[in-house]
Amino acid sequence: MKLSMPAGLTRAVSRQILVARKNSPTILFVAGTVGVVTTTVLACRATLKVEEVLNDHQKTLLDIKTVQHEEYTESDRKQDMATLYVQTVIKFTKLYGPAIILGTVSIGMLTQSHNILSKRNAGLTAAYAALEKGFKDYRRRVTDEFGPEKERELRFGKVSETVLEDAEDGKVKKRKKTTFGDGGGSIYSKIFDEYNENWDVHPEYNVLFLRGAQNWLNDQLRTKGHLFLNDVYRQLGYEDTPAGSQVGWLYEGDGDNFVDFGIFTDQHMNQMHDFLIGREGGIMLDFNVDGPIWDKIGKKARR
């Protein structure tokens, strides 16, 4: 009769195996760390007994060298000395053997934990790079077909509304205001407004600050050859993000070879105009990152 496990039990066991595999880097790291600490303790305890072993060795060695007997030849003396050295080595091996074995296993666990994480990070980077490339290719096709303004409208979600303004003659006039849905940009975008430490009440000062920051960051990109998005965030007064430690720019790479905040080009002049005349309290910065760059650093640029 063929026995089989119930389906529910099989799923439970499989789920626990999957959870263990998921957490294996943490498990191996913790076990390896505990093993290293235990190795140190075992080695210290063994060291406390070294003096006793050495004293016994020296005493026995002195007896072998000084013993005089007509039936005890030089050949016997050399053989006894060799046997003594072998026995002493065995004693040292017994003392330090557990520490050496445990230390080797612990280092192996730490190494394996690092290898697993490295492989996972490499896989995530490759998957993200493929996703980023696919999205950029899609944006390029939309831009080629409909133009940059339409691409921006479709990507960010264009919202138009009618607002009332006081005219110089005292009358109220209507103006069509265009914004972008949900605050606008990509997952890397930031709003530069009064909540930023570098903000100034005069819009023209803010524009000077942003243009100067963009120019300085481009100098850094050309000098260092690479720049992470978090470098840009710090320069502008924003906190680091997990994505900002992975994506950025490479000079003479496959990207634009320059840092762009997405506010100084012709297609963004409407946003800049509204910002300068005070119609908008802040301005959206959308950065033209090349994508993940860790896997590209050190590789020869394409020509």
Tens of pLDDT, residues 127-170: 777 777 777 787 788 888 888 777 766 766 655 555 555 555 55
What is residue 110's predicted lDDT score, i.e. its pLDDT?
Answer: 92
| Chain mean pLDDT for the chain | 81
pLDDT at 101 over 80: yes
CA 101 to CA 106: how far, in whole Å? 9
How many Cα atoms occupy the beta-carbon half-sphere of 80 within 13 Å? 15
Which residues are paired to 161 by β-bridges? 177
Residue recorded with tokens 């007509």 = 70
Over residues 259-284, the pLDDT tens digits come to 999 888 766 666 676 777 666 677 88
Cα–Cα distances in angstroms (integers) from residue 270 to residues 135, 164, 183, 207, in the given order: 25, 18, 16, 14
> Cβ distance 182 to 172 under 8 Å?
no
Q: How far is CA 183 from the centre of its chain?
A: 28
Sequence spans of domains, the chain: 7-121, 154-184, 185-303
Tens of pLDDT, residues 37-56: 999 999 999 898 889 989 99
Does residue 249 contact residue 294 with C-beta atoms inside 8 Å? no
Contact (CB, 8 A) for 291 and 132 = yes
Per-residue pLDDT tens digits for 27-36 = 889 999 999 9
- Parallel, antiparallel or unpaired: strands 226-228 and 247-250: antiparallel
